[in-house]
Structure 1
Amino acid sequence: MGFSLEGVGLVHANGFRALDDLRLHIAPGERVALIGASGAGKTTLLRVLGAALRPTEGRLRLLDVEPWTASPSRLRRLRARIGLVHQAPPIPLRQRVVTAVLAGRLGHWPLWKAVASLVWPADPAGARAALARLDLADKLYARCDRLSGGQLQRVALARVLYQQPDLILADEPVSALDPALSELTVALLNDDARARGATLVASLHAVELALRHFPRVVGVKDGRVFFDLPAARVTDVQLRELYAAEGGLPPAGGPTAPASAPAGELPPLRCA
């Protein structure tokens, strides 16, 4: 199983309801984009799926595990199978890139190996290979505080590629990248998940990227699933309703771009 949410709700300590009776089922190996206006609940949903936030209501099952009834050791093993890509990567800026990428496997290594790798990187060749997929192999031993925001975001993506998780959760993974790099990076995430049979869920601000690269698109509004459709069936009317809080215009246009492109060929960008 990928994951299943049944009537999941989440109320923050200040009383704000971020998720409300949310129902969503995703099979192993599915690739799903989350879209919706700012504040719709996409980031909260991803944090719930990452077992970082405990729902206030409902039932959650991740990778055949119910995280909040599992033992602490089983919960740690579950989290090691989940790869997280944050919009603002939580990477220590004085850390070397090689160390940041190798951190993707910390959940699988014994403590002695994790500590030793801070001094003498355990697998520099593996880190370099992950970085090479994002055109950053030359930054292997650079310090993270000497990278641009876009480079740092790609380092975080390389860490997940190196981790090879069963479930990838990406929250605006290309927000700091230019349109061409965004296109290539989203395609790479999809290719990696498809090749390994991993489940991929990504929150994207650019609707065209979601429609072009993901077979399934979930619109989130007011903490609920507003629609859950194949990308080719998402309509302009649905998008205008989904983004009504932002004037009814989805970012980067509507669903007129093709839902997919031939292998090895990227469709022309219409993004600003």
Structure 2
Amino acid sequence: MTSFEMIKYHGKEYPEDIPLRIEEIAAHFDITKIGGSLSRSLHTEYSYGKRKFNSALIAKYPDILAAQKDGVPQLWKNESWASQFANFIFDLVGGGPAPKVIEIHPPFNDYTDLTGFVRSYSEFENKIKARFPETELLVENRCGSVYHGGRFVLSKIKDIEALCEKIANAGLGLKIAYDIPQIYTAHNVKTEDKYISLLEETKPLREFIGGVHLWGKSISSTGRKVAHCGDLNSYFGDQGIKEHFLQAFKDCFDDDVARKMVLEVNSGNDDLQSIVADLQSVGIRFV
């Protein structure tokens, strides 16, 4: 059976038959407090663009402040950075309940690699688990940033394979938040065969995958595809390809493990609900 636990994204409205117990909460470096009415999944700094770094909270952490290039955060610079990052999260949570999920993001390859990331991350995991032993820790594959001089170290399927091996060898609890549109972008996928073959390559790694991200793309007035808008119809632009993708997606995660799912749709509720309906149409369940 292929099943997921939905994480509520922003203020989106979901069909009544979708259980919602967890919501995504922004926790990047310009955030100073967090709210939410459900259990929390903290979406931490993802280094797409520049941050202000001007809050009293972030000022407490000199290693985080120093780790930036032209305002874009440089994640996982070293173990001291990782320790301060854990403390930053502790400050955000304060006396509130432990987050259900903490989602982190990879560094750039102009100052570290996967080995360096795992070394720094281990310090972070040790501190987080000492205080929040039940919290799930996920790292998202990334593609695309205004950052200059390097690319994300976790972007293509070979990067994910290498990280999974390092996670296993180090005995870490970290799992992947697998962003499917970003893996397709990283591989510049244009054909139905490649959409499907990347999911087939993913299947052997699924024991390391703790969450999945899906979203659509819409066509702008200039003909450009806009990320995080639209549904799977506008993303694929072909009903047959969409249907083959849905079946391959279901098969990829058909192992009775209920992973977290985030539908990162910034356009209307109709687009989000369209994606939900597509997933349910092939027998995917939400628990």
- Classify the TM-score, shorter chain: 0.3 to 0.5
Pick 1 or 2: higher relative contact order, CA cutoff 8 A, min separation 6: 1
The TM-score normalised by the length of structure 2 is 0.36
The TM-score normalised by the length of structure 1 is 0.38
